[in-house]
Structure 1
Amino acid sequence: MINSNESNGLKELIDKLKEARCLSKEEWTWLIAGRTPELSEYLFALAREERHQYYRHDVYVRGLIEFTNYCRNDCLYCGIRKSNQNASRYRLTEEEILSCCRMGYELGFRTFVLQGGEDAYFTDDKIAHLVHCIKDLYPDCAVTLSLGERSYESYKRFFDAGADRYLLRHETYNSAHYAKLHPASLSAAKRQQCLWNLKEIGYQVGTGFMVGSPYQTPENLAEDMLFIHELNPHMVGIGPFIPHHDTPFADKASGTLELTLFMLGLIRLMLPKVLLPATTALGTIHPNGREQGILAGANVVMPNLSPTAVRKDYSLYDNKICTGDEAAECRNCLERRMESIGYQVVTARGDSLNV
């Protein structure tokens, strides 16, 4: 239990964050470690004010197309890691991907997110051609890529083909913590450099981290916040760590809804104009997780446009929701859920105001 003086001190830190837009590592750590339900409610009220000032009560939808679950990497937390021999692998054809876009466009989506494992089959030529086709067919839409780590030249080529945005979670800023979650072939420094490269090229850039990942400390989260403040991205995607039964972290505890919501509120106060999703993982750990995410300051949801036949196979973590729903079901369900808490799903590209 924290005493009243400490509680007042933490509340003052939230006020300071609202004014200064950043804190020191020590202040971030104290605030995150000392959070209480009362402090969270105070934070969320301020976060909603900021969100409403710039984005009103609008919720942007992104059409997520998970087009391959092959991956060359062996991240210890991920269900589609290379070493998982039980994964049922698939790749969508270009025709299947374009069919997802066509269906999504008819449902009102104006952003398509192409997400996949780091799959060598999808060469730069294939990705650039695919992006060009989508932009040619739907010039009023944004194309977001989430393909992991690529070279500067690859990123530039996709951008020149018409890609607008790129999502690449840094996962955790701290290099020692990063090494506990990933094989030795991957490094925090390289991943962070990819983000700087993407910004330099001109993408609208999204980063983010897992909340409650194994071995994570409040100090790690403080470093994540400092990195995000420095990077100043257009989007920040965070979600709770959820274990997958076919990974080395199968027996690790999940991240909590409570801490994830608190971090969402902090990010909204730090970067009031940023795009901030209420993720599928939030909805997985709590039936109303996405609604609570919106009420904590988020303003984006990402329903799935992938063919229902493969959705269950894009299994990054256990018990993922909406794997059996048709795209229209997902869209309509989210619309009703957002309306139930006083928000409205809008059909717009929804570009970030954090420029």
Structure 2
Amino acid sequence: MYELSKLEILNYLNGHNDDELFELADQTRKYIFGNEIFIRAIVEFSNVCNKKCFYCGLRAPNSKINRYRLDLPTILEAAETAASNGARTIVLQSGDDFSYTKKQIGELVTELKNRYDVAVTLSVGDRGLDEYAYWAQCGADRCLIKLETSNPELYEKIRSGESFEARLHRIKSLRDMGYEIGSGIIVGLPGSNIKDILQDLLFLTDLKLDMIAAGPFIPHPDTPFAECAAGDLLLSYRVTALLRILNPGANIPATSALDSFDSRGRELGLGRGCNVIMPSVTPSAHRADYNIYPGKNSVAIDVSDSLFQTENMIRNLNFIPSSSKGFSRRSKNVQ
């Protein structure tokens, strides 16, 4: 595997040789994963959130959004349709919505694990560590806990005074419980610069994460960052390519934010080091309401169609839709 100095990373971030960077990232992905692309089916079961993050359309003060909560049978139906159509990872995602009890989420995890041969990922925010421990006992395999930035001061600003150290403690605690951990950043956040992104890359690599996501900043009209400039799409590709080189065995998704800039955004991401696609399988009546940023889930299609289109895209790029659960390769000592 390749080793990069800080100066080399900075040069790549500044676009000194994109062709070389993307080729190195693609070679690294292929060496570890072959041509397999992992599919994570996401059920976004609630867009209610108690947070006030400056960048997110789900923020609690946003009164313009159409709020929804799915009941447990509806959540299970969407997840089971995805599983029966070949998805081997189900992601249960919501805003920080505490109306769902520990036992209810545990019931969802247990039912999915009992009925299907799937991995279950939780992306439900700052719930109690005791709750996460219970869900691990129910069979949950992975957690997504985004940082968005490794700069503590910027983190506090964009998340309305929340503690970066508390978030980091949560990540480390969940890892100690046995979860695979995913985190990541937003590229081009207002107030960040190229040196911050360099630090983000080094920080995320030091965390030895199982999954790392990096997508471009997209200003949402109903947030304090509405008038800020969007992130740079090409810079976002450079970041994910560098993450692949620095973290060969981590799962790195081609995020849906890429498609908000370019209809072929995720396709390009797969050719530049990414190995995961995460289609939404939220019921079509509510999918567009999970509006973190403009353009997300803008097309309402059925669960089976969403997975079918994803698999077709993968095949058309001469990749292979994986039939595995897609666990991290870090545990296999590939780093």
TM-score range for the pair, normalised by the shorter chain length: over 0.9
List per-residue Cα deviations over 1:95-139 (Å, max 9, x = no partner): 00110122112211111000100001012222122211211222x
Q: Equivalent of 1:340, from 297, 316, 322?
A: 316
- Specify the code of the residue in structure 2 equivalent to 1:215: G
Give the alignment of 1:1-355 within 5 angstroms: 18-20=1-3, 23-24=5-6, 28-32=9-13, 34-36=14-16, 39-138=17-116, 140-184=117-161, 186-355=162-331
Deviant stretches of 4+, over 3 Å: 26-31
List per-residue Cα deviations over 1:132-161 (Å, max 9, x = no partner): 1211222x1000000112332222111111
Greater gyration radius: 1
| SS of match in other structure, 2:43 | strand
For 2:135 and 2:8, the matched residues in 1 are separated by 39
| SS of match in other structure, 2:125 | coil
- Specify the code of the residue in structure 1 equivalent to 2:21: L
- Specify the code of the residue in structure 1 equivalent to 2:112: I
Q: TM-score, normalised by structure 1?
A: 0.90
> How much identity, in percent, do the aligned residues show?
34
For 2:167 and 2:9, the matched residues in 1 are separated by 23
When the two chains are superposed, the root-mean-square deviation of aligned CA atoms in Å is 1.5
For 1:334 and 1:201, the matched residues in 2 are separated by 32
List per-residue Cα deviations over 1:280-315 (Å, max 9, x = no partner): 111111111001100110000011111000011110
List per-residue Cα deviations over 1:233-285 (Å, max 9, x = no partner): 11011111111111111111111220111011101100111101001111111
For 1:93 and 1:83, the matched residues in 2 are separated by 24
For 2:295 and 2:118, the matched residues in 1 are separated by 31
Q: 1:215 Cα deviation (Å)?
A: 1.1
Q: 1:322 Cα deviation (Å)?
A: 4.8
- Specify the code of the residue in structure 2 equivalent to 1:81: R
Runs of 5+ unmatched residues, structure 2: none
Q: Aligned residue pairs: how many?
A: 331
Runs of 5+ unmatched residues, structure 1: 1-17
Q: 1:216 Cα deviation (Å)?
A: 1.2
C-alpha contact 2:290 2:296 (8 A) present in aligned 1:
no
Structure-2 change in CA distance of 1:43 and 1:30 (3 Å):
closer
Q: TM-score, normalised by structure 2?
A: 0.95
- Specify the code of the residue in structure 2 equivalent to 1:153: D
For 2:305 and 2:239, the matched residues in 1 are separated by 29
For 2:212 and 2:101, the matched residues in 1 are separated by 27
